[in-house]
Amino acid sequence: MALLSKKDTNLILDPLADNNPITIQVLGICSALAITAELQASVVMAISVLFVLGVGNVVISLLRNIIPTKIRIIVQLIVVATLVIIVDQVLKAFAYELSKTLSVFVGLIITNCIIMGRFEAFALGNGPWKAFLDGIGNSLGYGVILIIVGFFRELLGSGTLFGIQVMGDPVTKTGLYSTGYENNGFMIIPPAALIVVGIIIWVQRSKNRALIEEN
Amino acid sequence: MSTKRLTFKKRLHILKHRYRGKKMAPAFNAFHTFLFSPDETTHSGSHIRAADDLKRTMNTVIMALVPVLVFSFFNTGYQHYSAINGFPENFSVIDHFLTFDNFWLGFVQVMPLVVVSYGVGLLIEFIFAVIKGHEVEEGYLVTGMLVPLIVPVDTPLWMLAVAVVFGVIIGKEVFGGTGMNILNPALTIRAFLFFAYPTWMSGDKVWVHGAVERAGTADAISGETILGYLAQNNASEYSYSVSDMFFGFIPGSVGETSAFLILLGGLFLVFSKIASWRIMLSAVIGALVMGLIFNGVVEAGWIVEGSTFYSLMNFEFWQHLLVGGLAFGIVYMATDPVTGSQTNKGKWIYGFLIGFISVMIRVFNPAYPEGVFLAILLMNVFAPTIDHYVVRGNIKRRMNRLKQATVYPKTTDGKAKELKVETI
């Protein structure tokens, strides 16, 4: 017997492409614009959201039958806040420099629409295993876009990947810079992320025409 | 061989028919249309016969730009040699400006920009026409000529190419091509260059040919624009006379310097009814009003000499029109019929705010000594909103007129019945 049934596999694979939280549901755009100037920050953000959403979905799913409907948003907030504080403290303890780059955006995972959205839409109505897979799938879908955007923005904007100069040194003019190439300052500023995300959406929809809305 | 005697036009025509219905058809059609007038007529629907099509409109604007382009050749050379040898005393236009050396240097420097702009831009248009299977539109003809005129002369060609790719795809094609774009493509290209490569787009080195490569050597030269100089040094004196500014013997982007030729081009566009005189006039008024306000602040003594914005505020209000890209932007960019306001009242508001905001950005943001492209792009975004409210206002006014003219039947209690106005 396979480890995952077909339905379970879809829970993970759907959000990666045809039901991607960023490019299809257009959720979590705020952080995708703010922290993707560097690839490292994108990866850490993706992992943080993976943890928060994976664990959070399970917790909410386990509690789903005892949470009074009227105060469910408050309960959800408490769960996210707890998990986000754990992530924040771990980052501060083990990767202080990085946590300074990410600054408020780790704390703002609380307000990431993807998380509350999955709690509401999925975890409240499904068992813990399914909720866990859904959480993993959605945060992976989020993370993939973050990493793609981060890759292009850091490569074109700073000429580095994970802080390593892959195109040569812009100051001493080695590598590609000796030909007169220069870093593109536009890629550093957040509007560039909006355009990169837009291009990803464009490419995705021209590959899969079923995604194009009729109007 | 009988085909030997065929003219180029005829051969292209045969080629076009052979490819009809094939994937590459739009590319051949475009090439044919570009060189000759098309032999097809509209097949369906009602249509009128008019002398001015899109191509003729575009060509008229190009004609208005040619004097500016030719002037830019001379000025590029003049600025370069003057920066090296010193500005001539007793300047005479014939002896010092209209020389072959000046022309040739400018020609060699500016023509590559024109070629790259057209080459890359039209290539993208062709590719998109083939992918989407529609005919190539002439929209890039004007953009391709505007772009080299609004960049500094030493802009590296690859940067220009990257910016043109970005501007044409993101600024125009994603919205559906010519006629559908929200932002002026030429200004999108300029804005991209400014934010992507600021060291090549501002400062005191880029405006005169050769200043960048000579920087740091014994032969170093520099040439700041008047606005850049005022913003940087907070000085009230600069070495150019008003007639220099008016005729354009000053450093600046390739084609923006000569207010005189731009004025002639503008008049030509107004009299050929290609560009809107309302937008031009109101933009000039807007710039003058903002300039007057700043001059008034200085007069009133609300700002002390030597403080940050003093020198730019003290700059004579009407001279704002002569320096930088304001004149060029008002005549050739703000009047773009696609991205500007469509209604007459809207044009007044749109133009006024372009002039007003341009001068405001110039004075208040030392990081952007030139604010024209930002002001026009901003107003491009607002143009549909302005039009919307103008149209709504018209509807409301006419409804009121209708209501007053209508005699209502009296109701039983003697009061007139209200007519309900359906909102549209």
B328, part of any domain: yes
Domain count, chain A: 1
B323 SS3 class:
coil
pLDDT category at B411 given cuts 50, 70, 90 is low
**Does A33 contact chain B (CB < 8 Å)?**
no
Per CB-CB distance under 8 Å, the chain A contacts of B158 are: 180-181
Average pLDDT over residues B143-147: 91
pLDDT at A215: 65
A82, part of any domain: yes
* Choice among A106-120, B49-63, B71-85 with the minimum mean pLDDT: B49-63
Q: Mind listing the pLDDT tens digit for each residue in B397-408?
A: 998 888 887 766
Domain of B13, in residue numbers: 2-35
A125, part of any domain: yes
B230, part of any domain: yes
A180, part of any domain: no
B313, part of any domain: yes
pLDDT at A23: 82
A173 SS3 class:
coil
**Does A186 contact chain B (CB < 8 Å)?**
yes
Question: Could A189 and B196 be called an inter-chain contact, meaning their C-beta atoms sit closer than 8 Å?
Answer: no
B1 pLDDT above the threshold of 50: no
Distance from CA of A145 to the nearest CA of B (A): 20
CA angle B332, B338, B344 (to 5 degrees): 85
* Choice among A88-92, B100-104, B132-136, B286-290 with the minimum mean pLDDT: B132-136
In terms of domains, do B117 and B59 share one?
yes
Domain of A92, in residue numbers: 19-151
In terms of domains, do B83 and B17 share one?
no
How far apart CA B48 and CA A64 sit, in angstroms, is 68
DSSP string, A133-163: HHHHHHHHHHHHHHHHHHHHHHHHHHSEETT
Higher-pLDDT residue of B89, A43 = A43
B126, part of any domain: yes
* Eight-state DSSP code of residue B369: S
Q: How many CB atoms lie within 10 A of CB B208?
A: 27
pLDDT at B41: 62
**Does A182 contact chain B (CB < 8 Å)?**
yes
In terms of domains, do B170 and B231 share one?
yes
Distance from CA of A103 to the nearest CA of B (A): 25
Q: How many contacts does A have with B, using Cβ atoms within 8 A?
A: 22
Domain count, chain B: 2
How far apart CA B302 and CA B315 sit, in angstroms, is 15
pLDDT at B287: 92
B139 pLDDT above the threshold of 80: no
In terms of domains, do B31 and B97 share one?
no
Distance from CA of B304 to the nearest CA of A (A): 35
B304 SS3 class:
coil
Residue in A184, A187, A195 closest to B170 by CB: A195
In terms of domains, do B248 and B386 share one?
yes
In terms of domains, do B206 and B323 share one?
yes
B40 pLDDT above the threshold of 70: no
B45, part of any domain: no
A70, part of any domain: yes
How far apart CA A163 and CA A177 sit, in angstroms, is 17
ipTM of this predicted complex?
0.83
A140, part of any domain: yes
Q: Mind listing the pLDDT tens digit for each residue in B169-197?
A: 998 888 887 788 889 999 999 999 998 98
Question: Could B192 and A181 be called an inter-chain contact, meaning their C-beta atoms sit closer than 8 Å?
Answer: no
**A124 touches A56 (CB < 8 A):** no
Question: Could B196 and A202 be called an inter-chain contact, meaning their C-beta atoms sit closer than 8 Å?
Answer: no
In terms of domains, do B247 and B316 share one?
yes
A98, part of any domain: yes
Per CB-CB distance under 8 Å, the chain A contacts of B200 are: 182
B286, part of any domain: yes
B419 pLDDT above the threshold of 60: no
* Eight-state DSSP code of residue A215: -
Q: Mind listing the pLDDT tens digit for each residue in B363-378?
A: 887 677 678 899 999 9
B26, part of any domain: yes
Q: Mind listing the pLDDT tens digit for each residue in B293-324?
A: 988 888 887 877 767 777 778 788 888 888 88
In terms of domains, do B12 and B135 share one?
no
pLDDT at B113: 93
pLDDT at B357: 93
Please tell me which residue of chain B has the smallest CA distance to A189.
B195
In terms of domains, do B15 and B154 share one?
no
B47, part of any domain: no
Residue in A181, A186, A202 closest to B195 by CB: A186
Query: Would you say the C-alpha torsion B235, B240, B241, B243 has a positive or negative sign?
Result: negative
Please tell me which residue of chain B has the smallest CA distance to A196.
B170
Q: Mind listing the pLDDT tens digit for each residue in B151-170?
A: 988 888 999 999 999 999 99
* Average pLDDT of chain B, as a whole number: 82
Question: Could B197 and A184 be called an inter-chain contact, meaning their C-beta atoms sit closer than 8 Å?
Answer: yes
B424 pLDDT above the threshold of 50: no
Cβ contacts of residue B326 below 8 Å, gap of 6+? B287, B320, B355, B358, B359, B372
| Backbone angles phi and psi of B339, in degrees to 5 | -95, -10
In terms of domains, do B13 and B122 share one?
no
Residue in A180, A185, A202 closest to B195 by CB: A185
Both structure tokens of A198? 């837009």
Cβ contacts of residue A145 below 8 Å, gap of 6+? A20, A22, A23, A32, A197, A200
Per-residue pLDDT of chain A (215 residues; tens, 9 = 90+): 456 777 777 787 788 777 888 888 788 888 888 888 888 888 988 998 999 999 999 999 998 888 888 888 899 899 999 999 998 899 889 888 888 877 777 888 888 888 888 888 888 888 888 899 888 898 999 999 999 999 999 998 888 888 888 877 777 777 777 777 888 888 888 888 999 999 998 888 888 877 777 76
Question: Could A187 and B196 be called an inter-chain contact, meaning their C-beta atoms sit closer than 8 Å?
Answer: yes
Average pLDDT over residues B226-242: 72
Both structure tokens of B24? 């590459």
How far apart CA A79 and CA A59 sit, in angstroms, is 8
Q: Mind listing the pLDDT tens digit for each residue in B103-125?
A: 898 899 899 999 999 999 989 98
CA angle B148, B154, B156 (to 5 degrees): 80
Question: Could B195 and A202 be called an inter-chain contact, meaning their C-beta atoms sit closer than 8 Å?
Answer: no
